[in-house]
A and B are shown apart, each in its own frame.
Chain A
Amino acid sequence: MKNYFIKRIIYAVFTILLIATITFFLMHSIPGGPFTRERPVPDEILKILNEKYHLDDPLVVQYFDYMKGLVTFDLGPSYSKIGTDVEELIIAGFPASAKIGALATFMIIIIGIPVGMISALKQNRPVDYMVMFFATLGVTVPSFVIATLIIYFFAGILGWLPTFGLNSALSYIGPVIALSGYSLSFVARLTRSSMLEVLRQDYIRTARANGLKERSVIAKHAMKNALIPVVTYIGPMIAAILTGSFVVERIFAIPGMGRYFVESVTNRDYTTILGMTVFYAAFYVIMVLLVDVAYAFIDPRIRFGKGSN
């Protein structure tokens, strides 16, 4: 067990370093520098700029400088937002993104799982059909469409919700729904199908044959096992929320990391893209690591299967 964790942690650190390396060399293989403009910058200015940002150093030196900075969370200056460092952008944007992301995750778990369970227990009844209808709709409609529709109806026509920002409690509703829509539907579908699978198992029949109450059959025997496949979806879910935040924050004009990232992509702000990509990837790897560790506690098969060899 201990070995398994240590192995996973080393593996995660290695992955993050590798991601940083790949990203660094990708960004530096772009023809032309960050100061290449339509109107060429005069040579002297370019030289000074290059010196200021250490772009005249050999690539290897730049690489080690960057990695050194990475360890101390110093991601260098932003090329298009003069006077701002990339880590300042991350620090400024992260709280808003994290709040919405955490709320969305919470929604997905407390709504998606029970809804899927109910749907499985009432298979082929109206409730089931309704849940499946909405769940299917949810995975087919992109998050940017959901977000724009919310703005259109609830903010525009009905005027119930604010159209932008995160200034009141109400303003969280739109972004959270848009962000959780896809994953919520997916979790509901996944829970339903895995619950149906489990309910057909022999041990459930045995439990019933032993005269257990239906409630305890479901709560104690079926539910726990049905949730295992759902836990494996948490990794992709985090990724979906991360990328979803790019569009949702843009549409709802939320000053979060996702919006800064999209802005830096449009502005071709290389250091910001580089820094934020590494940050996102590292965040994701760490989250998945935490989930996997939690998973090892939940499912003994993982611990003694994968962990031991």
Chain B
Amino acid sequence: MPSSIQELDLGKVVISMDKNKFVFVDKQEIEEEEYRKSLTYWQDAWRRLKKHKLAMIGLIGVVLIVLIGIFGPMLTQFSYSDQVNDYKNLPPKLDLYKVDDDIYIYLSGDYFLFSVAENGRLIKRLELPKENKDIINKVYTYVLDGEPVILDFSYNLLPGKRGYDYDFTLEYKGNITHDVYKTVLNKIYPFGTDSLGRDMLTRTMYGARISLIVAFVATLVNFIIGVTYGAIAGYEGGRKDNIMMRFVDIVNSIPLVLYVILLMVLLRNQGLWTIILALGSVYWVGMARLVRGQILALKEQEFVLAARTLGVSKKKIIMRHLIPNAMGPIIVAMTMMIPSAVFTESFLSFIGLGVSAPMASWGTLANNALSGLITYPYQLFYPALAIAITMLAFNFLGDGLRDALDPRLRKG
């Protein structure tokens, strides 16, 4: 039996151990391993946020929307207010009719003919002299480079011309066409144009800028008023708190949109700042409640007592000790406030209280699209899509932030 093996006789059980199997612990090494890099609250939150897939999608979406809002309108060849009278109400997809070799025609909903290249690049609008409009027989004669193009849209409308598969024909140099040759994307106006011939792509991106400016600044105003009010109420406590919160309760028991509308009427809609002011001065009550709750809990903690004992002023305790510690829920609330501000702004613009023309927000774009909806649905589609994407992105990000910054509220 090797000498290194010790035998312990514990009653009847014999345990044998090989000393070589054991190594002395290097104390220093262990201690070094025990120390992990200490993460601050924000680093920890970021680590958690990165794990949240939907939140990261939301974050990327938000960054993209903001970048599009800032740089998008600079990159297109049109400005948001440029009007091209010839190119009104052009959709993003053009149905082309081939009337001759290399001559393609697009017929718009307003009975205008456009000469279009095969790849979808608009060349020009065909002229239609007034005397060429034969409304009774429903035949219009357009002029393309001196040659007449005859649009006969009397089929299925006039007696004796019923039972056709098609409603109109195009005649050019004796060739008659009535079938769509192919559908191409509008190369000059990828999102089409509106009723004044303005580029929808530029306007949608510009709308992003306006909608986001309104939402961000209004949220900032909310933040400043709400945090100040809530912090004072929470820190002071007692009667002041009671009176201040009763007021909040009352404001909160009113449908706030009514007051935004009232303020907009009152301020007479003098541009962007009125809508920001109206939104900012009304929606702070939720923030005030939240901050007050946080402060009430925080002010009982030892570090506040310590600060007070040291003679730190009230203002400084609130600004340097209390609010930074309540920042997590505040940021979550702000992230959720931005999409609802976008929503409210578009709602206001929709009922005619938004930014004034030629400026455009998504709400005004949607409102403008309403009158020609049946013929030009694409004019509503893009701003509506933009609103929906923004709402989704901010909501995803907000959910993720809530999980990351406020683990107590985490779901699941």
Contacts and interface: CB of A to CB of B under 8 A. Distances in A.
Given A152-B373, A243-B347, A145 B254 contact: no
B377 interface: yes
Nearest to A280: B258
B255 A145 contact: no
Given A156-B374, A281-B255, A142 B343 contact: yes
A302 interface: no
Contacts of A168: none
B392 A262 contact: no
B262 A284 contact: no
A280 B412 contact: no
A285 B253 contact: yes
A141 B266 contact: no
A19 B259 CA distance: 10
B382 to A, nearest CB: 11
Given A23-B262, A148-B370, A148-B373, A284 B255 contact: yes
B262 A152 contact: no
Interface in B249-289: 250, 253-258, 261-266, 268
A23 B214 CA distance: 25
A142 B258 contact: no
A265 B255 contact: no
Interface stretch (A81-89, A105-113, A246-254): A246-254
A148 B388 CA distance: 15
Given A156-B374, A262-B352, A27 B262 contact: yes
A243 B387 contact: no
| Interface residue SS majority, chain B | helix
B347 A152 contact: no
Contact of A139 (B366, B369, B391): B391
A284 B254 contact: yes
Given A145-B366, A243-B347, A273 B373 contact: no
A280 B255 contact: yes
Interface string B42-82: 00000000000000000000000000000000000000000
Interface string A262-275: 10011010000100
Contacts of A247: 347, 350-351
A59 to B, nearest CB: 16
Interface string B107-141: 00000000000000000000000000000000000
A50 interface: no
Interface string B372-401: 011001001000100110011001000000
A197 B412 CA distance: 8
B408 interface: no
B411 interface: yes
A242 B254 CA distance: 11
- Residue in B343, B347, B351, B412 whose Cβ sees the most chain A Cβ within 10 Å: B351
A193 interface: yes
Contact of A265 (B250, B352, B366, B373): B352
B256 to A, nearest CB: 8
A144 B388 contact: no
B353 interface: yes
B402 to A, nearest CB: 12
Interface string A137-150: 10111101100110
Contact of B373 (A139, A151, A246, A266): A151
Contacts of B262: 23, 26-27, 273, 277
Nearest to A141: B388
Interface in B325-376: 343, 346-347, 350-353, 366, 369-370, 373-374
Nearest to A264: B265
Contact of A193 (B268, B377, B395, B411): B411
Nearest to A147: B370
B253 A15 contact: yes
Nearest to A145: B384
- Residue in A139, A140, A251, A288 whose Cβ sees the most chain B Cβ within 10 Å: A140
Contacts of B370: 148, 251
B266 A26 contact: yes
A23 B266 CA distance: 11
Contacts of A251: 370
A29 interface: yes
Interface string A196-233: 11000000000000000000000000000000000000
A170 interface: no
Nearest to A19: B254
A137 B387 CA distance: 11
Contact of B255 (A27, A140, A239, A250): A239
A142 B387 contact: yes
A141 B395 CA distance: 13
B344 to A, nearest CB: 9
Contacts of A144: 346-347, 350, 366
Given A280-B255, A281-B255, A156 B351 contact: no
Contacts of B374: 152, 156
B135 to A, nearest CB: 25
A30 interface: yes
Given A136-B392, A140-B395, A156-B374, A242 B255 contact: yes
B119 to A, nearest CB: 30
B253 A145 contact: no
A281 B258 contact: yes
B296 to A, nearest CB: 16
A141 B387 CA distance: 7
- Residue in A29, A30, A266, A277 whose Cβ sees the most chain B Cβ within 10 Å: A277
Interface string B140-159: 00000000000000000000
Q: Which 10 A-B pairs have the closest CB atoms?
A: A140-B391, A239-B255, A145-B384, A243-B257, A140-B388, A156-B374, A262-B351, A144-B350, A140-B392, A281-B254
30 contacts: A15-B254, A19-B250, A29-B266, A30-B266, A136-B392, A139-B391, A140-B391, A140-B392, A141-B384, A141-B391, A142-B343, A142-B350, A142-B387, A144-B346, A145-B366, A152-B380, A242-B255, A243-B255, A243-B258, A247-B347, A247-B351, A262-B352, A265-B261, A265-B264, A265-B352, A268-B265, A277-B261, A280-B258, A281-B255, A288-B253
Given A239-B256, A262-B352, A265-B265, 4 more contacts: A30-B265, A141-B391, A273-B265, A285-B254
